[in-house]
Amino acid sequence: MGSYGLHESGLVRLIRKSYELLGLISFFTAGEDECRAWTIPVGSKAPQGAGAIHSDLEHHFIRAETIRWDALLEAGSEAAARSKGTLRLEGKEYVVQDGDVMHIRHSG
């Protein structure tokens, strides 16, 4: 790949371009037992992102603890990110960004 000046495999490029053409992004949820990617349309607000997980989360959405995936890896843990101030609380008007890691707070 390097000799052709390529930085990603053909499969990765195909997936990226497909998401772009379809107007989709991914965000992540992470817990003790699993980490999962969720696909939503570009421009979706936090409650709609929560709704991709479960409709009750959208209806009972309060806010989301949010951090970029690379900032979380750099911090090493959610606790470390929180102490560094890179983990932030976002409300109902927050537009989910590609690569966000979110912990959804809800009342349901």
58-102 pLDDT, tens digit each: 999 999 999 999 999 999 988 899 999 999 999 999 999 999 999
What pLDDT sits at residue 33? Answer: 87
Give the pLDDT of residue 38. 97
| Mean pLDDT computed over every residue of the chain | 94
With respect to residue 1, please indicate whether it lies within any of the assigned structural domains. no
Instruction: Provide the CATH number for the domain around residue 35.
Output: 3.10.20.30
- pLDDT of 6 > 90? The answer is no
* Separation between Cα atoms, residue 10 and residue 18, nearest integer Å: 12
Q: Which domain holds residue 69?
A: 24-106
Cβ atoms of residues 71 and 97 within 8 Å: no
Q: What is the pLDDT of residue 88?
A: 93
Flag whether pLDDT at 108 surpasses 90: no
Mode of pairing for the β-strands spanning 61-68 and 35-41: unpaired
